[in-house]
């Protein structure tokens, strides 16, 4: 399928049509990842457009950079689902799609005939992906905002200084993770369809993604009976594994195992600490971190952060400065990771898809679309009879 012939995508998902009825972050991030891999994504927006278009500042040419971050490689059409004709076009799009993705409240699309059962009735092979905050059961009525899930999952109880209040993450971390989990589910379902011809319903929710993403912290509770709490920048199970003060600023210092700790002690001029029976295993270093920390800080105070970074890196130890976002992008540029791509005549900059594929790499075809930018072409395509896609 290609509603607009120019710019037919290539890539491992070329030929896959995604009907994207999602908005804000989790769904649009998922569909952008699919689009980067070659899927044709039709972004269906209501008359007001995706909320994030207006989430400013910051903005580029009046459009929120939040929106620009997760909507490249898509084509936009405005369909008012309360309008009979537009709703019929939405039904037609759902009948032609390989993947239908939405993040309305559970049950919210049933009144428009766009719930899973209705779409499946007109398209038996569809992969229908529902994203919600708290699932379609008892939590169906709860609004799916990332901040709520950060609070209610326990993440905020882990973030911040032990003596201070809980903090949210600097990004909508569970929206992003749920978007990635949705992509994994969609790809698995497409593989199943290739083998069996059968579509299926993929469901992802922010709370389940959060509990999975808390990994060792949720495991501490369910497997160890321990309720972890805030430790600032310290790690529950490793020391040192945190920012540490040097002669002129902080530096991340890590010793993830006994061998690394021995090299760290040698590099800072305190080799005897590695043989001290209080510190010679991971468990002992954790138990005695309040004794070990001032010894390490005294040694690190003798040089600048940059000097220690050079010394520790030369010793093969994990270490690094605490960068701004600008510093992180510039680091990736220096390392040859080419983190920024530009799209379209207006050269809209965007962060590169992190997946590298040797034979079918991600493709950057289109900048994030203006509202209804391809609407006329898409509506014309949907109004024409078409033999169903292969």
Distance (Å) of CA 347 to CA 96, 134, 262: 32, 38, 49
CATH 3.30.1540.10 domain range(s) in the chain = 241-323
Asked whether the beta carbons of 18 and 41 are under 8 A apart, the reply is yes
Q: What DSSP element (H or E) covers 210? A: helix 206-213
Q: Which residues pair with 20 in a beta bridge?
A: 43, 101
pLDDT at 8: 62
Please report where in the chains the tokens 């690094």 appear, as a residue.
320
The rounded distance, in Å, linking the Cα atoms of 39 and 10 is: 8
Helix (H, G, I), strand (E, B) or coil at 237: coil
At 137 the three-state DSSP class reads: coil
Question: Is 50 considered catalytic here?
Answer: no
Q: Around 314, how many Cα atoms within 13 Å sit in the side-chain half-sphere?
A: 9
pLDDT at position 344: 82
Cα gap 158→234, rounded to integer Å: 11
pTM of the model: 0.92
Q: In what order do the strands lie in the sheet with 241-245?
A: 241-245, 250-254, 319-320
Catalytic one of 115, 146, 175, 372: 175
Q: Where in the chain is the domain with CATH 3.40.50.10540?
A: 17-214+338-383
Over its length of 390 residues, how does the chain's per-residue pLDDT go in tens digits? 445 444 567 899 999 999 999 999 999 999 999 999 999 999 999 999 999 999 999 999 999 999 999 999 999 999 999 999 999 999 999 999 999 999 999 999 999 999 999 999 999 999 999 999 999 999 999 999 999 999 999 999 999 999 999 999 999 999 999 999 999 999 999 999 999 999 999 999 999 999 999 999 999 999 999 999 999 999 989 999 999 999 999 999 999 999 999 999 999 999 999 999 999 999 999 999 999 999 999 999 999 999 999 999 999 999 999 999 999 999 999 999 999 999 888 899 999 999 999 999 999 999 999 999 999 999 999 999 875 444
Do 381 and 40 touch, CB atoms closer than 8 A? no
- In CATH terms, 17-214+338-383 corresponds, of 3.20.20.140, 1.20.1090.10, 3.40.50.10540, 3.30.1330.10, to 3.40.50.10540
Give me the phi and psi of 10, to 5 degrees please: -120, 175
Distance (Å, whole) CA 174 – CA 150:
7
Q: Which residues contact 70 (CB under 8 A, 6 or more apart)?
A: 25, 28, 29, 32, 52
18, 99 in Cβ contact below 8 A? yes
H or E stretch at 287? helix 282-287
Residue 345's pLDDT is 80
Residue in the structure block whose two tokens are 């779409």: 119
Spell out the CATH class of 241-323: alpha beta
The per-residue DSSP string of 318-340 comes to: -EE----HHHHHHHHHHTT---E
Question: 139, 111 in Cβ contact below 8 A?
Answer: no
Per-residue model confidence (pLDDT) at position 387: 54
DSSP helix/strand/coil, 307:
helix
Bridge partners, 342 (sequence order) = 349
Model pLDDT, residue 6: 44
Task: Give the span between the Cα atoms of 204 and 131, in whole angstroms.
Answer: 5
């Amino acid at each position: 399928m290609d509603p607009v012939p120019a710019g037919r995508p290539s890539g491992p998902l070329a030929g896959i049509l995604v009907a994207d009825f999602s908005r804000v972050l989790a769904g649009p991030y998922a569909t952008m990842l699919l689009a980067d891999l070659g899927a044709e994504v039709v972004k269906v927006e209501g008359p007001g457009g995706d909320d994030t278009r207006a989430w400013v500042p910051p903005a580029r040419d009046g459009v929120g950079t939040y929106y620009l971050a997760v909507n490249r490689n898509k084509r936009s059409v405005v369909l008012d689902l309360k309008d009979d004709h537009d709703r019929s076009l939405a039904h037609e799009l759902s009948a032609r799609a390989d993947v239908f993705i939405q993040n309305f409240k559970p049950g919210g699309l049933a009144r428009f005939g766009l719930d899973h059962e209705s779409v499946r009735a007109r398209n038996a092979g569809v992969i229908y992906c529902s994203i919600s905050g708290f699932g379609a059961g008892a939590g169906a009525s709860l609004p799916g905002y990332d901040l709520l899930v950060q609070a209610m999952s326990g993440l905020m109880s882990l973030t911040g200084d032990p003596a201070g209040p809980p903090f949210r993450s600097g990004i909508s971390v569970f929206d992003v993770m749920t978007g990635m989990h949705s992509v994994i589910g969609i790809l698995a379902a497409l593989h199943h369809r290739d083998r069996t011809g059968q579509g299926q319903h993929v469901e992802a929710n922010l709370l389940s993604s959060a509990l999975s993403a808390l990994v060792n912290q949720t495991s501490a509770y369910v497997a160890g009976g321990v309720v972890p709490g805030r430790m600032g920048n310290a790690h529950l199970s490793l020391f040192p594994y945190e920012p540490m003060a040097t002669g002129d600023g902080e530096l991340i210092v890590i010793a993830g195992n006994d061998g690394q700790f021995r090299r760290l002690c040698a590099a800072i001029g305190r080799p005897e600490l590695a043989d001290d029976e209080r510190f010679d295993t991971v468990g002992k270093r954790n138990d005695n971190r309040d004794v070990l920390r001032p010894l390490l800080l005294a040694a690190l105070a003798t040089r600048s952060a940059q000097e220690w970074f050079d010394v520790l890196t030369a010793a093969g130890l994990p270490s690094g400065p605490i960068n701004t976002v600008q510093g992180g992008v510039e680091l990736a540029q220096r390392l040859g990771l080419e983190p920024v791509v530009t799209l379209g005549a207006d050269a809209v900059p965007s962060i590169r898809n992190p997946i590298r594929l040797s034979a079918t790499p991600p493709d950057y075809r289109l900048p994030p679309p203006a509202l209804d930018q391809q609407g006329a072409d898409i509506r014309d395509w949907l109004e024409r009879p078409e033999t169903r896609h292969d």
